[in-house]
Structure 1
Amino acid sequence: MSSFWVFPGQGAQQPDMLHGLPSHPLTGECLEQASDALNEDVLSLDTPAALQSTRAVQLCLLVSGVACSRVLMAQGNTPDYVAGLSIGAYPAAVVAGALDFADAMRLVALRGELMQNAYPQGYGMTALIGLDQATVESLLAQVNSSSMPVYMANINADNQFVIAGSDQAMAQVAGLAKAQGAAAAKRLAVSVPSHCELLSEPAQILAHAFADVSVKAPTLRYLSGSTARPMLNADKLRDDLAFNMCRIVDWRSTVQTAYERGARLQIELPPGTVLTGLARRIFEQGSAVAFQGARLDTLSALSREEERRHP
C-alpha cells in the first residue's frame, strides 16, 4: 500500500469542527476519551469564541484528526506513512501507535497554554505567496532585529512560505514582499510566533513534561514535518514532538519524501483542504484528496485501488 495521511496545523480550524465530525460510534468514543483525559467537555472548545484560544484550537485539531483516522481505519484502510504540520504531528503520532491518545490530549493542552502564555498578543504568523525562498530570506534579514523579531517558519511549497514574529516586523516584511512582486501576504489565524527560536523556552518546558510520558517506536512510518525524515525510534519521535513548536516546518520536503518513497495517495485529515492543494504539484502521478467534503466510501475505494496497484 502506498498511502500517506497528513494532518493540518493551526490556521485550519473551523467553528463547530468537532460537532461536524462523521456520525459514527468511533467518533463518539473519541470525543468521550478526549473529554475524560482533560476532565472537561471538548465539545465546548469549537465555538468561534473558544477558538480564539491557542489551546482550544490545538486540542480540536488533535481530536478531529484522531477521530476521522479511526473511522477510516475501521473501513479497513491503513496508511503507509503519516505526517503532521506542527500540531498535526500529534494526531499523526497517535495514529502511528507511538503516543497514547489521552497522553496526547494532556500534552497538547499544555503545549497550547505554553505557546499562548509566552506571546499573549502582538505576535503571529503571515503567509507569503509568489516569491522564492532566497528572496524571502533576504527580506527577513533586512527586518529581523531584537526589537522587531521575524523568522522563517514554514517552507510549504516552492513559492509559499510562512513567517513568524512580531506584528510590526511581519507587516514590514509583507510590505517589502509586495514591492518585490509577491502575489499575496496574508496574516494567518495563528496568534503565536510558531516554528522559530521565539518558542525555544516553552519547548524546553514541554520536553520536561514529555519525560514522564510513554512514547513508543511508531508502528507506521512517521515522517517528521521538521526534518522530512522518518522517525524510527521513540526517543527521536519524542524530541520531534516536544520541539517542533520552535523548529522550521519543511512541509515541501516532507511531502516530497513520501512521494519519493512510493506514496501515491495523500489523504488530508480534517479540517480543511490546504495540504491537499500543496501536494498536488508533487503528486502529479498520484492523487491528493481531503477527507473533508469527500465520501467515506470514495476514500476507501481510492485506498483499495492504491493497495492493488502497489501491494
Structure 2
Amino acid sequence: MPRPTDRPVPRASRTGEQTSAVVFPGLAGTTFAALGKFLVLDRFARPRVRVADEVLGYPLLERFRDSTDDDYSESAQVASLISSLALAERAETVRGARPRFCAGPSFGLRPTAVYSGALDLAEGIRLTAAIARREREFFRTHHSDIVTHTVVRVPAEPLAALLAEWNARGDRLEVSGDLDQGFAMVTLRETLLDRFKRAIGSIGGYSMHTMRPPAHSTLFGELRTAMEQDVFADVGLRTPRIAVVKDQDGSIVDTAEAMRTMLLDTFNRPFNWRAVVGTLVAQGVHTVHFTGADALFTRLDSTVRHLHVVKTDPKSALRPSSLPVGETV
C-alpha cells in the first residue's frame, strides 16, 4: 500500500528567506469532536489514518469516536500524532514552510521524532500506542494520589519560596513545566491541591487545570525505567534529518542516542518552553509554524514576543476561505 511521506525532505532556503521552525503542541483539544472531521476529510490526514489502521489492527477513527477517555486514550494519542504530522505536511505544501528546526513540548516530542526522520510513520504510531498503554498501566498501580496542576500569573520568587517552604516540611512539590514567566505546572499530592490553590491565590496567582495522570516529574523514575525496558527496547531510532530542539533544556538533538534520551526524559524531567524559545531565537529562527490544535503555546508571551507565529490547525485546514484557489481538503 502506498504510504504517505513522513515528512518532505527539507529544501534549501531561498536567498533572503527567514529561518523557520515547526512546533508540535501537546494533547490539548484531542477529542473526536475536534479532530474527527479533519481526519476523515483532509487529504494529508487520510493516508496516515490508513497506515494507523494497518499498524494498530483496528479502525482508528471508530475506536477514537467510541472512546470514553479523554486526551490520554491510546486512540486519542495516535489521532493527535497523525493529525499533527498531516498539518505539518500541509504547512510545507500549502503554506510553503521550509523549517530548519523542529520541536514539540511534552507529547509533541512524538510527532517531532517522526517529522525529524528519527522514526518512520508506522514506527511512530506503534510507539505512541505502546507508550499510552504502558503509561495507563503504570498509573493504575503507582502514584494514584499525584496530580499536575497549572498555575499562572505567579511571581517567580514567591512561587519558589512557596515550594521551598512546603518541601521543607515534607510536602513534596516540584515544577514539571516552565511555560512562561509566572506560568508553570506543579506536581503534588492531590490531598494538598485545595490548600495549594489557596496559597497560589494568596500570592496573587491563579489556578488553571489539573492533569490526571500527572506528568514530567522526578517522582516517575520507575515509569522511565519501565518505558525503557518494555517499550523502547526494540525501537530503532535514527539520526534526525532536521535539528530537534530538546524540550527539557533547549539543547540541540542531532543523534539517534540523544533522540532516545529526550523521548525517555519526558517521563521524569520537567519541560522548559522558555529554553526552547531561547534556542530558536539564538539559532536565528523568525517564524514558527505550530501544526496542531493549540490554545496555549501560540498565545504565550514567551512565544509571541520573540517569534512570528503561524498556526496550521484542524479548524483552519478545513476552512475553504483559507485555502489557495484550487486547493481542496
Q: TM-score range by the shorter chain?
A: 0.7 to 0.9
What is the match of residue 117 of structure 2?
A: 97
SS in structure 1 at match of 2:33? coil
SS in structure 2 at match of 1:20? helix
Aligned residues of 1:127 and 1:185 also touching (Cα < 8 A):
yes
What is the match of residue 191 of structure 1?
A: 212
What is the match of residue 7 of structure 1?
A: 24
Query: Aligned pair 1:126/2:149, yes or no?
Result: yes
Deviations 1:221-270 (Å, cap 9, x if unpaired)? 21110121110111011111122121110011101211221111112111
What is the match of residue 268 of structure 2?
A: 246
What is the alpha-carbon distance in structure 2 between the residues aligned to residue 216 and residue 27 of structure 1? Answer: 24
Which shifted more, 35-44 or 240-249?
35-44
* Aligned equivalent of 1:109, options 129, 151, 154: 129
What is the match of residue 175 of structure 1?
A: 198
Which shifted more, 165-174 or 269-278?
165-174
Deviations 1:91-121 (Å, cap 9, x if unpaired)? 0111111112222222222222232233244
Q: 1:52 Cα deviation (Å)?
A: 6.0
Which shifted more, 245-254 or 142-151?
142-151
Q: 1:217 Cα deviation (Å)?
A: 1.1
What is the match of residue 79 of structure 2?
A: 60
Deviations 1:66-86 (Å, cap 9, x if unpaired)? 121123233343322111111
Structure 1 residues without counterparts, runs of 5 or longer: 302-311
Aligned residues of 2:177 and 2:270 also touching (Cα < 8 A):
yes
| Aligned partner letter, 1:128 | V
What is the alpha-carbon distance in structure 2 between the residues aligned to residue 257 and residue 234 of structure 1? Answer: 20
Q: 1:149 Cα deviation (Å)?
A: 4.0
SS in structure 1 at match of 2:107? helix
SS in structure 2 at match of 1:218? coil
What is the match of residue 99 of structure 2?
A: 79
| Aligned partner letter, 2:224 | A
Which shifted more, 280-289 or 204-213?
280-289
What is the alpha-carbon distance in structure 2 between the residues aligned to residue 134 and residue 46 of structure 1? Answer: 45
What is the alpha-carbon distance in structure 1 between the residues aligned to residue 227 and residue 305 of structure 2? Answer: 38
* Aligned equivalent of 1:28, options 29, 46, 70: 46
Distance 1:170 1:60, change over 3 A: farther
Distance 1:281 1:204, change over 3 A: closer
What is the match of residue 156 of structure 1?
A: 179
Structure 2 residues without counterparts, runs of 5 or longer: 1-17, 325-329
What is the alpha-carbon distance in structure 1 between the residues aligned to residue 67 and residue 194 of structure 2? Answer: 26
Query: Aligned pair 1:235/2:257, yes or no?
Result: yes
What is the match of residue 14 of structure 2?
A: none
Aligned residues of 1:118 and 1:202 also touching (Cα < 8 A):
yes
SS in structure 2 at match of 1:222? strand
Deviations 1:9-51 (Å, cap 9, x if unpaired)? 2334234333132633321101111222211222122557232
What is the match of residue 41 of structure 1?
A: 59
SS in structure 2 at match of 1:68? helix
What is the alpha-carbon distance in structure 2 between the residues aligned to residue 298 and residue 222 of structure 1? Answer: 33
* Aligned equivalent of 1:225, options 223, 240, 247: 247
* Aligned equivalent of 1:201, options 194, 217, 222: 222
Q: 1:198 Cα deviation (Å)?
A: 2.4
TM-score, scaled to structure 1: 0.85
Aligned residues of 2:166 and 2:173 also touching (Cα < 8 A):
yes
| Alignment: residue pair count | 298
Which of 1 and 2 has greater Rg?
A: 2
| Aligned partner letter, 1:6 | V
Query: Aligned pair 1:165/2:188, yes or no?
Result: yes
Sequence identity of aligned pairs in percent?
A: 19
What is the alpha-carbon distance in structure 1 between the residues aligned to residue 242 and residue 320 of structure 2? Answer: 23
SS in structure 2 at match of 1:276? coil
Distance 1:204 1:168, change over 3 A: same
What is the match of residue 306 of structure 1?
A: none
| Aligned partner letter, 1:72 | A
| Aligned partner letter, 1:55 | E
Query: Aligned pair 1:70/2:70, yes or no?
Result: no
What is the match of residue 15 of structure 2?
A: none
What is the match of residue 215 of structure 1?
A: 237
SS in structure 1 at match of 2:267? helix
SS in structure 2 at match of 1:9? coil
Q: Please tell me the root mean square deviation across aligned C-alpha atoms, in Å.
A: 2.7
